[in-house]
Structure 1
Amino acid sequence: MCGIVGYIGKRDTQSVLIEGLKKLEYRGYDSAGIAVYTPEGLKITKSIGRLANLESKLESAPLVGSAGIGHTRWATHGKPSDVNSHPHTDRTQKFSVVHNGIVENYLELKDELISQGYTFVSETDTEVISHLVAREYDGDIVKAVQKAISHMRGAFALGVLTEYEPNKLVAVRQASPLIIGIGEGENFIGSDIPALLNYTRKVYILNDGEMAVLTPDSVELMTIEGNFISREMINVDWDEVTAEKGGFDHFMLKEIHEQPKAYRDTMRGRIDETGRKVIMPELKLTPEQIRNIRNIHVVACGTAYHAGLVGGSVIEQLVRIPVAFDVASEYRYRSPLITPETLVIVVSQSGETADTLAALREAQANGAHVLAITNVVGSSIARDANDVIATLAGPEIAVASTKAYTSQLIAFYLFALYLAEVRGTQSEAEIAHIIAAMQALPEQVESMLANTDSIKAYAEQISKHPNLFFIGRGLDYAVAQEGSLKLKEISYIHSEAYAAGELKHGTLALIEEGVPVIALVTQEAVMEKTVSNIKEVKARGGDVMALTYEEHVADMLKSVDQAFAIPKTLPMLAPAISVVPLQLLAYYASLALGHDVDKPRNLAKSVTVE
């Protein structure tokens, strides 16, 4: 997945594709490629690494033609490499495809195609599509694409070319964005608006289940079943910087709003068709190895460590395996007790965090099986770990992590359920109940993101205070730590997170009249105790804002100054919802103070030194 561009017209197609891909570089990528219909037929050039590597190849062998597709790849299926780069082609090299998204049933389709004599050269799910289109082709590329799609499950945005019909470019959207650009004697496709702005501001935005057929002089919109659609054209008035941010003021805000999609993408292909079982075909851990696990170590840094606090606790709850938590920078130096029956879970957004990588190697040197949860498939941690769960949040640009953190939570929930299935510690009915609640999370988060005025107002209020406290119990305490870190990272307000029951052991000395305290109250088993701790704060003059379920707001307002309601979910899943208002709180507080939200001082996105 990452960036798609496509062009059909009279310009130098290679230049249009390269310039379009450059406008999508902000999304992050590990390889790039283009396919162009030339007088000699369909030709493809691709390269691992930055676009400069691709341009260098094209200098000596330019692709000159009238139609083409291009792609910047961010690895999901298969490591970053020339051969895994897009565009992909069939065995005859007459068809070419670029693809964002995930084909959930690609292994099943791949086995079918291999049995029919098709050969594969890459590790990707995308190559399956090019072979499917070729197999289904019978003189009409549109029908061939429609038939190919009918065999596929998952999310995909596609650009498809064939040298048999050089005057057509086919585009498809199913749960992955795709935009059609309209010109004079030329037309375009792009996964995001910035790719098109140099050439046109007139666009159609495809909806899920729709496709477009482009020629130099026309664009036909239709459903994937072939029913034609009439739609009003949109005129884009964004500047290029705003376009890169999807119309949001900052990348951080964009990425907060991308979380529902990231949840869906991380779950996609890992829940079976019945919705009652987790499947993780990417794991090498055998059922026998899983049943032999005696203890688990969760090791990470910063935000990833906070995700680990939630995930490890859920594993303990569902699977009844003891879990130890370590910040990666300390792990090696405490001589951890590791045996071959120890599973070590390392968590890293970038997959390059130096301390986490060192902890991984320490664990393996002592015989542990290491599972990595990371957002970057081709990273050092992903390459070195014994097993990898990719979070599929997509590239994260803002330094303060948001969607990477919540996608890590989803990955932990899935893995915990998978362990529970294999070890038989939860019933099928209970697992299905949790899965159903997980599948509701994206829509619940979307409902919160549609109404953020109260959080913005509260953020402006706390931005006037030099100190702040977050409190909670159980998983609420884990989320409180992440909320506090977010606020510190980008607003520079001093904040601390405490287990609510620990306040009376010293921290109450810091509570004085008017000090803001944010109390997370989502864990119903300890809700009454948390309210008691809130009253201790109120008795010392603290100003308390509670974050709780809507059904508890009225009662909570008897004990606090303000309350923010979140949608009801299972207590173990509450962190995936409750953290979102805290991310927004940090964002709006930073904005109120005039700070650079996306690039906070003294911090880097990937910490590659110990």
Structure 2
Amino acid sequence: MCGIVGILGRAPVADQLVASLKRLDYRGYDSAGVVTLEGDHFDRRRSEGKLRNLESGLRAEPLWGHIGIGHTRWATRGKPTESNAHPHMTDNVAVVHNGIIENLRELRAELEQQGTQFASETDTEVVAHLIESYLTKGYSPSEAVKAWLPKLRGAFALAILFKVHDDLMIGARKGSPLAIGQGDGQMYLGSDAIALAPFTDTITYLADGDWAVLTRKTGVIFNAQGAVAHREVVKSGGSSFLVNKANYLHFMAKEIHEQPEVVGHTLRRYVDMAAERIALPQRLPFDFNDIGRISITGCGSSSYAGHVAKYWFERLARVPVELDVASEFRYREAPLRKGDLAIFISQSGETADTLAALRYAKAQGLHTLSVVNAPTSTIARESETMLQTLAGPQIGVASTRAFTCQLMVLAALAVAAGKSRGELSDADETRLVQRLIEIPRLMATALATEPQIEKLARDMAKCRNVVYLGRGTSFPLALEGALKLKEISYVHAEGYAAGELKHGPIALIDETMPVIVIAPYDGVFEKTVSNMQEVAARGGNIILMTDAKGAREAIVDPLVTIVLPDMAATFTPMVYDIPMQLLAYHTAVVMGTNVDQPRNLAKSVTVE
């Protein structure tokens, strides 16, 4: 979604605002803008497109105010034009906003009846005019916020400036994340700690429903009822994040190649390497023997990570798993048994649908466990148990190392569940842990297929439709591979369970159709080969991803065979996802798309 930042500084803040927005442009990059308060008037710069356009405008016409707010936008309501870019202003108010105001039509109609004229298509401008309407009635800024905030429905984070108040900023959040940063005689507001890292590591996260009144020296937080609230002050590690591409052309390429390292970091958090045992970082507040069913929920790649985990929990722990896309689960009023376990997977920890699903499960009396990359995120804080992935900040929008780190955490948890339930012996646990320990090395070996995949991508870039097939844990990997190709190359791709091929998708197969088959040599390999024969009989171009034995036993001659390292079948998705990511990446590079910031997408989806 969008990224917002605010600074109460002691010197001109425009350059600092832009520096923070650069750290937030993974949240949106359709347009950007800043406004500063200079004396008794606002001065604003906005631009359509990337942040560099805003930087050019600021070089031509600098801003000198010592207090300001900025915004980088992912369009939800209104086209990504300069007039729709934030900040939005009235005579006395300037606002930046992340989220969606659901009762936009109702509020806009009410304001128009009062004579308000709107200059944009956005819901954010309604907020500015709503505040203005209270100020004209004689309310102070704080009184106005307290009065109008309950009128808003939806998910939002706001930063607000008020004319003639050059030592005041108000922030508010409901659903969307917002953090306060404290400096030496300066105060900061931002969508996350990474945005504030260049200035401070002293962070306070607003709880849902909170609003805050900030000056350069003070920060007072109020809860949804208007009472003063005391929130924990934490030290953020965001200042250590070096957001650069190193020697890679794109962040996505860098993040693909960093996976052996970050998956290794995650592995060490959950495994006692010396004892070859699972060692979860904290004691779970439930006994897996008391769990009758596990519900797993996520969105996008996180949902597919959960799909892989379904196979692991059912095979290793013999516990039934129900898998849901969060946007469906939150509304279908699923019957849940009190005391069962719900697992929620989110890279950002702020995904709106997943958060809503978490709250529903909590209300039904389930144990809640989240797998997130951001330990201070809303989902992490509201979960009974949080298991962190150590993927680091992922700047590329398409999930790569976040996905494989999620798989590592879920694999460790599945083994722990199997051991707890008596389905796995000590010897079984040791064998499985040994296989997990091998994963970073095997991932590094898989990266060596890149030259072959880069060559294949030149042909893939000429195609408009692609089919991915897999069985077992390779089925959700086929879904994930298809998603990656769609996200960054804009090539239409579909993933299917290989056994479903003859139940409809086979009609798509002709001599122009690439069919990517994910088939490690495992218990269902021969079944997958029979599906390959069906494709070959219809002239489809088979791209086989398998190991050395699978390449020998395939019978069918594929157009291309990507040979991956030999490994036990249980945890192949973590390794086999590497060539899928590389294929999507290099196809997108050949096609000339914006790999790190694909159209219409944002890294963190904090609204429905």
Same fold (TM over 0.5): yes
Following superposition, the deviation at residue 590 of structure 1 comes to: 0.5
For 1:281-328, what per-residue CA distance to the aligned partner results, in whole angstroms no more than 9, with x for missing partners?
324424xx3220000011111100000000121011100000011000
**Structure 1 residues 59 and 558: CA distance shift in structure 2, 3 A:** closer
| Correspondent of 1:583 among 576, 581, 584 | 581
**Contact between 2:181 and 2:187, CA under 8 Å: does it hold in 1?**
no
For 1:580-599, what per-residue CA distance to the aligned partner results, in whole angstroms no more than 9, with x for missing partners?
10001000000111000000
Alpha-carbon distance in structure 2 between the residues aligned to 1:418 and 1:433: 13
Match status 1:272 vs 2:272: yes
**Structure 1 residues 282 and 264: CA distance shift in structure 2, 3 A:** same
Alpha-carbon distance in structure 1 between the residues aligned to 2:275 and 2:443: 20
**3-state secondary structure, aligned to 1:513:** coil
**Contact between 1:27 and 1:395, CA under 8 Å: does it hold in 2?**
no
**Structure 1 residues 468 and 273: CA distance shift in structure 2, 3 A:** closer
| Correspondent of 1:459 among 440, 457, 478 | 457
Aligned counterpart, 1:259: 259
**Structure 1 residues 122 and 591: CA distance shift in structure 2, 3 A:** same
Matched residue type, 1:525 = G
- The within-5 A match list for 1:44-59 is 53=181, 57=185
- The within-5 A match list for 1:223-372 is 244-286=244-286, 289-372=287-370
**Structure 1 residues 489 and 125: CA distance shift in structure 2, 3 A:** closer
More moved, 538-547 vs 551-560:
551-560
**Contact between 2:533 and 2:556, CA under 8 Å: does it hold in 1?**
no
| Correspondent of 2:374 among 373, 376, 382 | 376
TM-score of the pair, normalised by structure 2: 0.63
Alpha-carbon distance in structure 2 between the residues aligned to 1:550 and 1:269: 32
Matched residue type, 1:261 = E
Following superposition, the deviation at residue 551 of structure 1 comes to: 2.7
**Contact between 1:266 and 1:411, CA under 8 Å: does it hold in 2?**
yes
For 1:61-84, what per-residue CA distance to the aligned partner results, in whole angstroms no more than 9, with x for missing partners?
xxxxxxxxx976999xxx9549xx
For 1:38-82, what per-residue CA distance to the aligned partner results, in whole angstroms no more than 9, with x for missing partners?
xxxxxxxxxxx999945563699xxxxxxxxx976999xxx9549
Aligned counterpart, 1:529: 527
Match status 1:483 vs 2:500: no
Following superposition, the deviation at residue 333 of structure 1 comes to: 2.8
**3-state secondary structure, aligned to 2:579:** helix
- The within-5 A match list for 1:185-196 is none
For 1:403-430, what per-residue CA distance to the aligned partner results, in whole angstroms no more than 9, with x for missing partners?
0000000010111111122222101111
**Contact between 1:535 and 1:559, CA under 8 Å: does it hold in 2?**
no
Alpha-carbon distance in structure 2 between the residues aligned to 1:550 and 1:511: 27
**3-state secondary structure, aligned to 2:279:** coil
**3-state secondary structure, aligned to 1:437:** helix
Alpha-carbon distance in structure 2 between the residues aligned to 1:592 and 1:57: 50
Match status 1:603 vs 2:604: no
**Structure 1 residues 318 and 72: CA distance shift in structure 2, 3 A:** farther
Following superposition, the deviation at residue 568 of structure 1 comes to: 1.7
Alpha-carbon distance in structure 2 between the residues aligned to 1:421 and 1:438: 15
- The within-5 A match list for 1:158-173 is none
Alpha-carbon distance in structure 1 between the residues aligned to 2:449 and 2:304: 26
- The within-5 A match list for 1:407-556 is 407-522=405-520, 524-556=522-554
**3-state secondary structure, aligned to 1:609:** coil
Matched residue type, 2:258 = E
Following superposition, the deviation at residue 259 of structure 1 comes to: 0.7
Structure 2 unmatched ranges of 5 or more: 1-14, 27-176, 189-195, 206-231
For 1:437-485, what per-residue CA distance to the aligned partner results, in whole angstroms no more than 9, with x for missing partners?
1111111111222341111111111110111100011111110000000
Structure 1 unmatched ranges of 5 or more: 1-17, 30-48, 61-69, 83-120, 127-189, 195-243
**Structure 1 residues 609 and 552: CA distance shift in structure 2, 3 A:** same
Alpha-carbon distance in structure 2 between the residues aligned to 1:27 and 1:53: 15
**3-state secondary structure, aligned to 1:346:** strand
Aligned counterpart, 2:402: 404
For 1:308-367, what per-residue CA distance to the aligned partner results, in whole angstroms no more than 9, with x for missing partners?
000121011100000011000111333212112320101011111111111111111111
TM-score of the pair, normalised by structure 1: 0.63
Aligned counterpart, 2:191: none
Matched residue type, 1:258 = E
Matched residue type, 1:278 = I
Alpha-carbon distance in structure 1 between the residues aligned to 2:24 and 2:426: 39
**Structure 1 residues 451 and 437: CA distance shift in structure 2, 3 A:** same
RMSD: 3.3
Following superposition, the deviation at residue 22 of structure 1 comes to: 6.3
**Contact between 1:476 and 1:523, CA under 8 Å: does it hold in 2?**
no
Aligned counterpart, 1:159: none
For 1:493-529, what per-residue CA distance to the aligned partner results, in whole angstroms no more than 9, with x for missing partners?
0011111111111111111123100000015111001
**Contact between 1:455 and 1:581, CA under 8 Å: does it hold in 2?**
yes
**Contact between 1:298 and 1:325, CA under 8 Å: does it hold in 2?**
yes
**3-state secondary structure, aligned to 2:468:** strand
| Correspondent of 1:386 among 367, 384, 387 | 384
Aligned counterpart, 1:8: none
Between the aligned residues of both structures, percent identity stands at: 39
Aligned counterpart, 1:199: none
Alpha-carbon distance in structure 2 between the residues aligned to 1:601 and 1:192: 26
Following superposition, the deviation at residue 605 of structure 1 comes to: 0.7
Following superposition, the deviation at residue 558 of structure 1 comes to: 3.8
**Structure 1 residues 568 and 427: CA distance shift in structure 2, 3 A:** same
Matched residue type, 1:538 = A
Matched residue type, 2:579 = P
What is the aligned length?
413
**3-state secondary structure, aligned to 2:467:** strand
**Structure 1 residues 57 and 418: CA distance shift in structure 2, 3 A:** farther
Alpha-carbon distance in structure 2 between the residues aligned to 1:51 and 1:344: 27
Matched residue type, 2:491 = I
Match status 1:593 vs 2:591: yes
Alpha-carbon distance in structure 1 between the residues aligned to 2:249 and 2:516: 26
Alpha-carbon distance in structure 1 between the residues aligned to 2:179 and 2:523: 53
Matched residue type, 2:403 = Y
**Contact between 2:368 and 2:383, CA under 8 Å: does it hold in 1?**
yes
**Structure 1 residues 454 and 274: CA distance shift in structure 2, 3 A:** same
Alpha-carbon distance in structure 1 between the residues aligned to 2:411 and 2:440: 14
